């Protein structure tokens, strides 16, 4: 017995848990929700949703997604400029398409945002500001989504309205605790938490709350919410949902709010679970909600496909750059000692010469909270 109590946990387990624990949690959460839904309603609603896809629905999703992506890129551009790292609208739109596609096919739903943040930060010469710009941009979008959902539930008839006070109380509690932690940490010590708190306070005070910034960010966010909701309504109608428009919008707003939680597999999991609950509460049936979200997922994958094309083009250019760099190092092909192309560095998925890796130096890591 004494020998059993003397057994210690290997020192390497801690870093492994920190590195892979959250991805496994996201994967496990998504798989668990989907497994439960399959046990509850079977695979038929998923199959029906795929079979119900029509070309007009795909065309509408592509058009609306193009508009919402431009609005999202505009929001990101305004936030980035407020933090001192500019980006033009065309580049922001292309980067946003890349991130949307990656979020739609990878676990967690945030890998595309990380890629976008690190790429922009490296190009701007400040990874820390690049990460903070994307974090603030996404936070603005999520807060706006929650606020619009609350307004819709208060004004439109919905069977899920009784849950609104609990949702608002939870959001207010989390926001209050976060504000308290930031306020206390900013006054004490010199830890990483303190530096992060001070960076957050500086971002808000010097840029994000400026009169020329937050109205643009809010307007762009509302337009994005409206575009996604319109796409969802079209998908639900094509899937055969005949609920009144007001009630349908309220249900879909709740579903969209649930999707901001990054515990999915390429968006699958919580979205279908929330739809099953909301549609069942409205008397429309859990299967109807799953059928609508499945069709929505399919048409949205087609709508963000331009991001896959952009990533493929990046890979081709990276390969050409690598070949050119290799040829220039061969004897007899010249005496150029140009710096290696950025794509020589290993990367998972990257923009042109911008690998998706964490900052590799101590100085870059410290800049994340400056």
- Has residue 318 been placed in a domain? yes
- Predicted confidence (pLDDT) per residue in 194-212, tens digit: 677 777 777 887 778 888 8
pLDDT on residue 80: 93
Q: How far apart, in whole angstroms, are the C-alpha atoms of residue 29 and residue 270?
A: 8
Residues 212 and 321 grouped into a single domain: no
pLDDT over threshold 80, residue 184: no
Return the structure tokens found at 193.
Answer: 């938490």
**CA 157 to each of CA 180, 184, 232, 271: distance values in angstroms, whole numbers, following the listed order:** 35, 41, 18, 21
Closest to 81 in 3D by CA, of 89, 71, 69, 70: 89
pLDDT over threshold 70, residue 160: yes
pLDDT on residue 217: 94
Share of the chain above pLDDT 90, in %: 42
- Has residue 272 been placed in a domain? yes
Residues 296 and 321 grouped into a single domain: no
pLDDT over threshold 50, residue 360: no
- Has residue 350 been placed in a domain? yes
Number of structural domains found in the chain: 2
- Has residue 16 been placed in a domain? no
Residues 290 and 319 grouped into a single domain: no
**CA 129 to each of CA 102, 196, 346, 365: distance values in angstroms, whole numbers, following the listed order:** 22, 12, 23, 11
Residues 199 and 79 grouped into a single domain: yes
Question: Do residues 251 and 243 touch, judged by C-beta distance below 8 A?
Answer: yes
Question: Do residues 249 and 229 touch, judged by C-beta distance below 8 A?
Answer: yes
**Final residue belonging to a domain, choices 277, 303, 329:** 303
User: In a 3-state reduction of DSSP, which class is residue 351?
Assistant: strand
**Final residue belonging to a domain, choices 303, 321, 344:** 303
Q: How far apart, in whole angstroms, are the C-alpha atoms of residue 252 and residue 236?
A: 9
DSSP string, 148-183: HHHHHHHHS--TTGGGHHHHHHHHHHHHHHHHHHHH
Residues 314 and 245 grouped into a single domain: no
pLDDT over threshold 80, residue 213: yes
- Predicted confidence (pLDDT) per residue in 61-90, tens digit: 999 999 999 999 999 999 999 998 989 999
Which structural domain range is residue 343 located in?
Answer: 309-359
Residues 70 and 218 grouped into a single domain: yes
- Predicted confidence (pLDDT) per residue in 247-288, tens digit: 999 999 989 988 887 777 878 888 999 899 989 988 899 999
Q: Which residue has the tokens 């208060």?
A: 154
Residues 27 and 48 grouped into a single domain: yes
Beta bridge partners, 351, equal 354
**Final residue belonging to a domain, choices 288, 303, 318:** 303
Q: Could you give the residue ranges of the DSSP H alpha helices within 162-282?
A: 164-185, 192-203, 214-238, 245-258, 270-281
Residues 196 and 139 grouped into a single domain: yes
DSSP, res 339: P
């Amino acid at each position: 017995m004494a020998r059993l109590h003397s057994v210690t946990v290997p020192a390497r387990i801690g870093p492994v848990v920190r590195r892979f624990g959250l991805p496994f949690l996201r994967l496990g959460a998504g798989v668990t929700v989907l497994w439960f839904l399959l046990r509850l309603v079977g695979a038929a609603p998923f199959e029906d949703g795929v079979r119900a896809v029509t070309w007009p629905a795909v065309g509408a999703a592509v058009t609306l997604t193009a508009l919402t992506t431009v609005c999202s890129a505009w929001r990101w551009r305004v936030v980035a400029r407020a933090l001192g790292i500019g980006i033009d609208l065309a580049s922001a739109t292309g980067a946003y398409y890349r991130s949307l596609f990656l979020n739609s096919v990878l676990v967690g739903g945030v890998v595309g945002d990380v890629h976008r943040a690190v790429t922009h930060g490296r190009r701007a010469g400040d990874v820390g500001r690049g990460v903070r710009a994307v974090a603030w941009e996404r936070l603005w979008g999520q807060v706006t989504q929650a606020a619009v959902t609350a307004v819709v539930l208060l004004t439109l008839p919905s069977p899920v309205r009784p849950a609104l006070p609990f949702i608002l109380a939870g959001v207010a509690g989390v926001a209050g605790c976060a504000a308290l932690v930031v306020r206390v940490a900013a006054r004490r010590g010199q830890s990483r938490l303190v530096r992060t708190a001070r960076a957050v306070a500086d971002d808000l005070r010097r840029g994000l709350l400026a009169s020329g910034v937050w109205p643009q960010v809010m307007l762009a966010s509302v337009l994005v919410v409206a575009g996604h909701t319109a796409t969802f309504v079209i998908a639900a109608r094509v899937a055969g949902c005949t609920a009144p428009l007001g009630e349908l919008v309220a249900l879909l707003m709740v579903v969209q709010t649930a999707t901001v939680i990054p515990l999915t597999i390429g968006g699958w999991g919580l979205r279908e679970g929330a739809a099953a609950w909301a549609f069942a509460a409205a008397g429309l049936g859990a299967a109807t909600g799953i059928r609508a979200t499945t069709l929505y997922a399919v048409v949205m994958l087609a709508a963000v496909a331009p991001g896959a094309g952009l990533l493929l083009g990046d890979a081709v250019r990276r390969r050409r750059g690598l070949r050119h760099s290799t040829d220039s190092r061969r004897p007899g092909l010249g005496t150029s000692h140009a710096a290696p192309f950025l794509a020589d560095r290993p990367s998972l998925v990257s923009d042109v010469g911008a690998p998706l890796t964490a900052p590799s130096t101590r100085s870059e890591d410290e800049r994340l909270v400056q």
